[in-house]
Chain A
Amino acid sequence: MSDRRGPDHRAGKIMTPDEIVGRLESGMTLGIGGWGSRRKPMALVRALLRSGVTDLTVVSYGGPDIGLLAAAGRIRRLVTAFTTLDSIPLEPHFRAARERGAFELVELDEAMFMQGLTAAAQRLPFLPIRAGLGSDVLRVNLLLRTVTSPYDDREELVAVPALRMDAALVHLNRADRFGNARYLGPDPYFDDLFCEASDTAYVSCEQIVDAGRLAEHAAPQTLLISRHTVTGVAETPKGAHFTSCVPDYGRDEPFQKAYADAAAGPESWAAFRARFLAGSERDYHLAVRAWHKEQR
């Protein structure tokens, strides 16, 4: 019998953001983790913008991930409960795209969305919830149905369909090369559910640490994501920028404001794209650093 405590020579699942995006195809249903302008896998979204992948159904508690993809015309259908920059309530690209009828919207309540992810993770066709009853969510989403409890209460509830995805993108603070991943901030959001509810899942992280050292100095429940749900892992320092990734960094509020201001008009947005989004991920961070120097 071999020594199972010996060095671990398994190759792992490390990929570059461009390799991850290379696994995505136009027309896919893509989940994006995080919440609003918090811990969004922005480096992967930027890599997606550099690719030709389009015609996507995107499932997200929306933030600038949705704004950027909408501005680039990559979304055919959006499944969400909101799209916001948090400190700036209205996401300008999302708003403009909706007002010009750029994509189909499936608008769900936040708790309905969670129920849909949970149903998908558990391979159920739907899960019931009270939320949605009496609201126009049921009026505008023609696919939504209700279900009657088989028990004595006979309650009629909303049957939220499973939000099953082809691929999910999430960003965590730390991961090992096998795809186990930790969050260090106060909120896991729904990133583990996104991975479990998706046929493939890709984790970007601030830092890849040696396997076996991931749990050092940490409570085990911060190990949010387990490798059996992960297809690939990428190290992308500042990969959630300009959204927050506490405690590694907070939201870059001045830059987020510059993003939102630039989104107001076609010329200012073209200038923003040319300056920040035309090159590689490294070019992006250099351009952001230079921009911050100018603001002093």
Chain B
Amino acid sequence: MTRAAERTVTRAEYCVVACAEAWRDNGEILASPMGTIPSIGARLAKLTFAPDLLLTDGEALLIGDVPALGAASGVTEGWLPYRKHLTMVLGGRRHVMMGASQIDRFGNQNISCIGDWARPRRQLLGVRGAPANTVNNPVSYWVPRHSTRVFVEKVDMVSGVGYDSAAAAGPSATRFHDLRRVVSDLGVFDFATPDHAMRAVSLHPGVTLEQVREATGFTLAAVPDGGLPYTREPTDEELRLIREVVDPRGLREREVRA
């Protein structure tokens, strides 16, 4: 393999970097990634620019090392069974990146069911911890396949609370409400607009704005003059960490195909 070929960055690897960036400057809090690429991203962040992050083994232990995805941890630094984990959520020292079966322009997210809640067309997981997460600790979202089925005008069951819903519910709901970013296989989005409507922040290399608009079921906030930047490149060291240390089995390429 030539050096140029080695440096060719896949879409999945841009997604990893975009997810890792969610935890930059977060300090000594728990990173709770859900999904393969967010999990790689959180570990990459801890190995590079966010060394103070706490990570779990996916069960009840806080791990003191950064094992490869799917490998066992060799260092336990703490105990976080569900009851302590839920208390940690309520205390806010955590930044979770959740999935979304549906998400709307103000960041309302649904993982509960599709259709009318009383008699759903398709039952999904249930709201799980999304209502508590979104009004208590910072939340980001990961969508591996950006489409109009996921990015919808209105979600069927508000599980994760969006900006408009939090505002309507009052100051106790907005007090700790903080949606940070949405990463999809097409780009990075946030809510840093006057009315907290979702806007595109960067596109992954190879993606056009037209493509994003077509795959989004609502109108994204206006793009600034001069257009959007591309999602940043991983450094050589980040690429090495992703490929050799955190995800040597290449699981990322199964979640987002080239």
Contact for B112 among A89, A107, A110, A132, CB less than 8 A: A107
- Determine the distance from Cα of A190 to Cα of B120 in the docked complex, in whole angstroms: 29
Interface stretch, picked from A49-57, A135-143, A208-216, A269-277, is A135-143
B225 at the interface (CB under 8 A from A): no
**A82 and B172 contacting across the interface, CB-CB below 8 Å:** no
- Determine the distance from Cα of A172 to Cα of B90 in the docked complex, in whole angstroms: 28
Q: Known: A98-B123, A156-B170. Contact between A133 and B135, CB under 8 A?
A: yes
Contacts of A130 in B (CB 8 A): 90, 132, 135-136, 172-173, 175-176
**A101 and B134 contacting across the interface, CB-CB below 8 Å:** no
Q: Which residue of B lies closest to A186 (CB)?
A: B60
A84 at the interface (CB under 8 A from B): yes
Q: Which residue of B lies closest to A110 (CB)?
A: B129
Q: Known: A140-B157, A156-B172. Contact between A109 and B131, CB under 8 A?
A: yes
Contacts of B168 in A (CB 8 A): 134
Interface stretch, picked from B77-85, B182-190, B194-202, B209-217, is B77-85
Q: Known: A99-B122, A130-B136. Contact between A111 and B165, CB under 8 A?
A: no
Contacts of A84 in B (CB 8 A): 125-126
- Determine the distance from Cα of A156 to Cα of B135 in the docked complex, in whole angstroms: 13
- Determine the distance from Cα of A184 to Cα of B64 in the docked complex, in whole angstroms: 22
Against A, the Cβ 8 Å flags (1 = close, 0 = not) of B48-88 are 00000000000111000000000000000001011100100
Q: Taking each of B136, B162, B176, which has the highest tally of chain A beta carbons within 10 Å of its own beta carbon?
A: B136
**A98 and B113 contacting across the interface, CB-CB below 8 Å:** yes
B9 at the interface (CB under 8 A from A): no
**A111 and B172 contacting across the interface, CB-CB below 8 Å:** no
B128 at the interface (CB under 8 A from A): yes
Q: Which residue of A lies closest to B89 (CB)?
A: A111
- Determine the distance from Cα of A190 to Cα of B159 in the docked complex, in whole angstroms: 23
Against B, the Cβ 8 Å flags (1 = close, 0 = not) of A144-188 are 000000000001110000000000000000000000000001111
**B81 and A188 contacting across the interface, CB-CB below 8 Å:** yes
A59 at the interface (CB under 8 A from B): no
A90 at the interface (CB under 8 A from B): yes
**B131 and A132 contacting across the interface, CB-CB below 8 Å:** yes
Contacts of B79 in A (CB 8 A): 186
A92–chain B nearest beta-carbon distance, Å: 10
- Determine the distance from Cα of A241 to Cα of B121 in the docked complex, in whole angstroms: 31
Contacts of B118 in A (CB 8 A): 101, 140
A66–chain B nearest beta-carbon distance, Å: 10
Indicate the size class of the contact surface on chain B.
Answer: 35 or more
**B123 and A82 contacting across the interface, CB-CB below 8 Å:** no
Q: Taking each of B124, B125, B171, B177, which has the highest tally of chain A beta carbons within 10 Å of its own beta carbon?
A: B125
- How many A-B contacts if CB must be within 8 Å? 139
Contact for B123 among A95, A110, A133, A139, CB less than 8 A: A95
Indicate the size class of the contact surface on chain A.
Answer: 35 or more
**A134 and B169 contacting across the interface, CB-CB below 8 Å:** yes
Q: Known: A99-B121, A155-B172. Contact between A111 and B161, CB under 8 A?
A: no
Contacts of A132 in B (CB 8 A): 131-132
Q: Known: A133-B173, A157-B172. Contact between A90 and B125, CB under 8 A?
A: yes
Against B, the Cβ 8 Å flags (1 = close, 0 = not) of A87-103 are 00110001100110100
**B159 and A135 contacting across the interface, CB-CB below 8 Å:** yes
Q: Known: A111-B89, A187-B59. Contact between A133 and B83, CB under 8 A?
A: no
Contacts of B120 in A (CB 8 A): 98-99
B119 at the interface (CB under 8 A from A): yes
- Determine the distance from Cα of A197 to Cα of B158 in the docked complex, in whole angstroms: 29
**A131 and B136 contacting across the interface, CB-CB below 8 Å:** yes
B127 at the interface (CB under 8 A from A): yes
- Determine the distance from Cα of A62 to Cα of B79 in the docked complex, in whole angstroms: 23
- Determine the distance from Cα of A114 to Cα of B82 in the docked complex, in whole angstroms: 10
Q: Which residue of B lies closest to A89 (CB)?
A: B125
Contact for B86 among A95, A111, A188, CB less than 8 A: A111
- Determine the distance from Cα of A29 to Cα of B255 in the docked complex, in whole angstroms: 41
**B82 and A35 contacting across the interface, CB-CB below 8 Å:** yes
B166 at the interface (CB under 8 A from A): yes
**A133 and B170 contacting across the interface, CB-CB below 8 Å:** yes
**A190 and B169 contacting across the interface, CB-CB below 8 Å:** no
- Determine the distance from Cα of A17 to Cα of B89 in the docked complex, in whole angstroms: 37
**B90 and A82 contacting across the interface, CB-CB below 8 Å:** no
Contacts of B166 in A (CB 8 A): 133-134
**A137 and B123 contacting across the interface, CB-CB below 8 Å:** no
A99–chain B nearest beta-carbon distance, Å: 6
Residues of B within 8 A of A (CB): 59-61, 79, 81-83, 86, 89-90, 112-113, 117-132, 134-136, 157-162, 165-166, 168-173, 175-177
Jot down 16 A-B pairs with beta carbons below 8 A, ordered by A: A82-B126, A83-B125, A83-B126, A89-B125, A90-B125, A101-B119, A114-B83, A130-B175, A131-B136, A133-B135, A135-B131, A136-B117, A136-B157, A156-B170, A187-B59, A188-B83
